[in-house]
A and B are shown apart, each in its own frame.
Chain A
Amino acid sequence: MPALRVSGLRKTFGATVALAGVDLEIRPGSIHALIGMNGSGKSTLIKILSGYHSPDAGTITYGGGTTPDRSAAVAFVHQDLGLVPTMTVLENLRLGRRLATRFGRIDWRREREPARKSLARFGLEATIDTEVQSLTRAEATIVALARALEDCSEGCSALVLDEPTSALPASESDQLMKVMRECADAGIGVLFVSHQLGEVLTVSDEVTVLRNGQVAWTGLTSETTLESLVMAMTGQLIGGERGNPSNDRDAPTGSLSETSAAAASVLSARRLSGQIVRDFGLDVAAGEIVGVVGLLGSGVMELGPLLAGRATPSCGTVELSGALLTERRRQEIGFVPADRQRDGVLAGLTASENVSITHRSRHVRRGRISRPAEDHEVRLWLTELLVDPCEPEADIATFSGGNQQKILMARWLSVHPAALVAEEPTQGVDVLAKAQILDRIAAHARDGLSVVLLTGEPEGILDICDRVAVLRQGSIACEFRPPLDLGEIVAAMH
């Protein structure tokens, strides 16, 4: 009798098939890991389980099919936890419930005891009066888990955790893993989504791999290896042995970052450190495209602003053409941010104004901005980058995601920077625009532009990279040179 069973689950969004008939069975007392690349259908499956989406076809049964009410049998811990940071643990555990009252006031003494009990189960009873914001991330996750268990009025048969460890520092995930094991030992079927294959292999009993909306592999964890999981995720064989991936198979020059390139390097990072990033070193030569890839929590998202001089590192330096990067010279490094809407797009301003913001004095004629001169130049850039429709006078907010990204690229390319740092350059961009963007980046690199592409999804950028550095726990774990093998890189990320 499975704790949770999914069979024949299908879901399409428009023309995109997110899930193409997925079967999944979570046994009571077992920890089941769900893995897959971005776009494999993982999030859709989780959203269907949580009731956010309803499936096009297929069935979900829980607790042996005896309860029609999902929330009574399945406990859910969402990625964002859903806790109120400024309230205490006790208040959070009691949030949204009917509280015992005494003379019209909340009877906290009566509410306290059951809350204390459910915390004690995980060794957190001491935190009951602590505000959630002063807990560690792992503790907060456990509080959310305790609340989810309490909410199962008829006894929990299954527990689902959506990427519970992706925001955790490595030191804290053990604590959470232990709690998950305790739940399983109590007879609950635990399903968790993870990107960290190492953790999947150590903690889970069973694994299901999704790829393109289908189950690519499912089975006992003890019967699989890291390599075969990666192969199932990417659908590709891992080329060669994974022993020492930084060994260059093509050119026997050894690690480029320390030797010959240092002299001719345009953009160099020396012992760069931030919150997660530690002692990061990189040399990018003129015309070189370097991919830096890493999972969420590897520091890859922190690295972009540091490399581009847009954030102050806790220590270390960035050099541009051999000289320390000063605030004045920051404009010589283009920066395309990951959060396009917040950090990139100037909504309400025209495409033309969005491009020319970086070279705003260039078109001043006799004290005034010459609109024809400005529009003319912007139009050339938009044409070069294949922005379609090419309308410099239209509000940037009216363009599609791909066009917006091209406009942001034009913003920097038009000032002829020495280097370009782009985070998630093809995120939220359709297939055609993606190819066009990568093509333009490669073209400008051929003209001497140094490029660093930062991403959590290496499959998007591999085609144009001259080398790829894998970031793990804030520093470069290994480096790859062409021929670049997606499987090897993905395996190295985990």
Chain B
Amino acid sequence: MTVTLQDTGPEETRPTESAGASSLPERRLGMRLAPYAMLGLMGVLILVFSVLRPSTFATFSNASTIAVQNAVPAVLALGLMVPLIANEFDLSVATVLGLGSILAAGLPHNQGFSAAETIAAVLLMGLLVGIVHAVLIVGFGLPSFVVTLASSSILGGLIVLYSKDQTIFQPLPAAISTLGTGHVFGIAIPVVFVVVLIAALWFILDQRPEGRLLYATGAARDAARLSGVRTDRVRAIALIVGSTVAAFAGLLLTAQVGSADPTIYSEYFLPAFAAAFLSIAAFKLGRYNPLGVAAAVYLLAVGINGLELLGAPTWVQYVFNGGALLVAIGFSRALRVTRRVQVL
């Protein structure tokens, strides 16, 4: 049987012998809809909560609260995703967020930093942490899991040292507050940051050759290296980007809240990982991807918000997040199995 290739370039494409059993259009509808299952699930949740709590859940103000309140978790999860793509764990992202948040609140008052100096110092802190990680993990070949676990504890100590274990509650420079509470064209600035970050990451990861290098390095480091990818450099950059974005998330948190709590960061740890892992199950199946991360963050947020409005006690959100993390891992395993069966 001869099958003419469906793609462009008719002059060069020769007809090939093909079983033709598994060409793309013939795949089951379910497989084609699978990338959007998470959006569907979110739709179902929104529908259910709207029916159950029409006056509190299904309001514009509740929707915008969810969007604004989850901007920081979204930024953190997007940053965490970058080293995860390179197959490096960064367990310190939440602590870097904590230190960034404390520094953003303390530096203007305690050290008399201007807004610009404060922002620069916080980002520099993230950059430095990332560089130290890169040196230890890439340079010395230590496992990222252990290195970032250790640095997380060390940074936690620095947070206590700088904050003296007290919430820092000092007036912030106006420019910083605006970052957290201002609006552009009626959209909260933190949400704008999330959108910009998603767009930037999508462009680099999905549209630029650099993204290929990152995914290839994470898929099989030796194979990527033997194909000419400078995997050491890729891993180092991924770790540095992860830490720097986490520090920025800390800055954003302080700007939003107006103060910095030295213990709050631990709350951000698990949702970030849950969202990053869940992104495997949305849009680009089998890959960490920025749109998927954003969808996962807001899926978790909608779920928890709805449960709270239904009167669920606080502990439910921890169970919900943990359950979501397990579901995410289960998904990624199942995806790997079904995709293998499908084409063969």
Contact = CB atoms under 8 A, between A and B. Distances in A.
Interface of A: 310, 330-331, 335, 337, 342-349, 353, 356-358, 360-361, 364, 367-369, 372, 375-376, 379-380, 383, 386, 388-391, 393-395, 397-400, 411
Contact of B223 (A331, A346, A356, A361): A346
B228 interface: yes
A379 to B, nearest CB: 6
Given A369-B209, A380-B13, A346 B7 contact: no
A394 B122 CA distance: 43
Contact of A383 (B14, B207, B224): B14
Q: Chain B contact residues (Cβ within 8 angstroms of A): what range?
A: 35 or more
Interface string B222-235: 11101111000000
B220 A379 contact: no
A389 B219 contact: no
B24 interface: yes
A427 to B, nearest CB: 16
A450 B229 CA distance: 23
Interface of B: 5, 7-9, 12-14, 16-24, 203, 207-209, 212-213, 215-216, 219-220, 222-224, 226-229, 286-287, 336, 339-340, 342-344
Contacts of A361: 209
Given A391-B23, A397-B340, A346 B208 contact: no
Given A353-B216, A386-B16, A388-B17, A367 B8 contact: no
B227 A411 contact: yes
A485 to B, nearest CB: 34
A388 B343 contact: no
Given A349-B216, A353-B215, A357-B228, 4 more contacts: A356-B212, A379-B9, A398-B339, A398-B343
A345 B339 contact: no
A389 B19 contact: yes
Contact of A391 (B9, B22, B286): B22
Contacts of B219: 346-349
Contacts of B227: 346, 357-358, 411
Contacts of B19: 388-389
Contact of B286 (A383, A393, A395): A395
A390 B208 contact: no
A255 to B, nearest CB: 32
A211 to B, nearest CB: 32
Given A331-B228, A395-B339, A398-B340, A389 B208 contact: no
B228 A330 contact: yes
A340 B96 CA distance: 39
A376 B9 contact: yes
A394 B343 contact: yes
Given A346-B220, A348-B287, A369-B208, A390 B228 contact: no
A363 B343 CA distance: 27
Contacts of A389: 18-23, 343
B206 to A, nearest CB: 8
A425 to B, nearest CB: 15
Nearest to A310: B226
A8 B222 CA distance: 45
Nearest to B213: A360
Contacts of A342: 220, 222-223
Nearest to B341: A398
Contacts of B7: 372, 375-376, 379
B220 A347 contact: yes
A147 to B, nearest CB: 32
B296 to A, nearest CB: 19
Given A353-B212, A388-B19, A391-B23, A372 B340 contact: no
A361 B332 CA distance: 30
Contact of B18 (A337, A379, A390): A390
Nearest to A390: B16
B222 A364 contact: no
A175 to B, nearest CB: 34
